[in-house]
Amino acid sequence: MNALSLGLAASGTRLAFSLLGQLSGQRLSVLTFHRVHARPDALFPGEPDADRFDQLMRLVARSFHVLSLSRAAEHLAQASLPPRSLVLTFDDGYADNVEVALPILQRHGLTASFFVSSGFLDGGRMWNDSVIECLRASTRSGLDLGELGVATAVPLQTLEQRQQAVQLLLPQIKYLNLEQREVALARLQSLCGVATLPKDLMMSTAQLRSLHKAGMEIGGHTVSHPILTTLDGEQAEREIALGRERLQELIDQPVQVFAYPNGKPGQDYDASHVALVRRLGFRAAVSTAAGAAGAGADLFQLPRYTPWAKGLPLWAARLALNQRRRRYDMAVAA
């Protein structure tokens, strides 16, 4: 996008959000990212590469008042949210958040909140990445994944077939408990004939500290990224509390914000987890429910929404439409 087109898109975005704020009150947009790849990766079609992310951040910097999540939560609590307020968030703790995303954020003078699963630091790997990297590296022409819940044989002869295999497997493994998940991943790696998987996908301790020293907010995201509703109360508290404690030890600062793993209200977390996060002393928490929060919002179930349109004008328009969504899903007590 050239400078003129970017300027027009930014001006239109500012005008749209200013008008929406006047009509319905100021509301908070929270964007969600996971990885930012140095180059496009066909097995991650929904994740931006550096060029795409740079375009988005240029638009964001020119259109919005960008805050950390903790600061935005303070404004929501005080009904003092600035016009066109927006929070940038990153989940899980990927190394490319530091290697690729951080320099772009700094170039545009932006802050962000990073939710890190502490157990994957220094060589760990998210379960979904294990699935993807197994299917990427396999030299097999096809797999029989019946024991993993996939009813038909899965061909792997083309990139599209590998993409389809990823989409078939992720839902089958996501809601297993941690022990079952590890068994399933080990079986998949064996079926794929893959000896080793990458150990450099997640942040190192040094990278986490550099992110904090750069002025970015660090938030909790459990130890091992379980679906909280698959755990009993004691296990859930241990995951949330120990994850936070480890991050606080590493950055020598309080960790005040939290993101529910996967984040679907009522499915991935429930009202008991909201109460737990509040009791543990966090100041705010985010889900993955679409919507925009206004004054009086539950600070422990703030919605997040990121459009995935290719063109920046359409991306901004969809974000503006989300701004009108006053009601959004939340976990409620039975």
pLDDT at position 184 is 95
pLDDT tens for each residue of 51-101? 999 999 999 999 999 999 999 999 999 999 999 999 999 999 999 999 999
Give the gyration radius of the chain's Cα atoms: 20
**b/e burial code for range 208-222 (CB count within 10 A of at least 16 → b):** bbebbeeebbbbbbb
* Number of C-beta neighbours around residue 307 at 10 A: 16
Q: Which residue has the higher pLDDT, 220 or 23?
A: 220
Asked if 219 and 259 count as a contact pair (C-beta separation under 8 A), the reply is: yes
- 140-149, 180-189, 292-301: least confident range: 140-149
List the one residue out of 35, 105, 115 whose CA is nearest residue 69.
Answer: 115
* Element (DSSP H or E) covering residue 315: helix 312-323
pLDDT at position 39 is 95
Asked if 83 and 25 count as a contact pair (C-beta separation under 8 A), the reply is: no
pLDDT at position 84 is 93
CA terminus-to-terminus distance, the chain: 49
- 15-19, 88-92, 278-282: least confident range: 15-19
115 vs 94: CA distance, rounded Å: 10
Pairing of strands 113-116, 85-92: parallel
Percent above pLDDT 90 for the chain: 81
**Sorting pLDDT into bands at 50, 70 and 90, what band is 220?**
very high
Average pLDDT in the 131-160 region? 92
* 246, pLDDT greater than 90: yes
Query: How do the domains of the chain map onto residue ranges?
Result: 3-122+201-323, 127-192
Pairing of strands 65-67, 113-116: unpaired
**Sorting pLDDT into bands at 50, 70 and 90, what band is 238?**
very high
pTM of the model: 0.94
Average pLDDT in the 3-20 region? 68
279 vs 257: CA distance, rounded Å: 13
- Residue type (1 letter), 91: D
Asked if 196 and 157 count as a contact pair (C-beta separation under 8 A), the reply is: no
pLDDT at position 326 is 79
Pairing of strands 154-155, 142-143: antiparallel
Alpha helix locations (H) across 138-224?
159-174, 178-192, 205-213
Domain 3-122+201-323, CATH number (from 3.40.50.920, 3.20.20.370, 3.90.480.20, 3.90.1150.10): 3.20.20.370
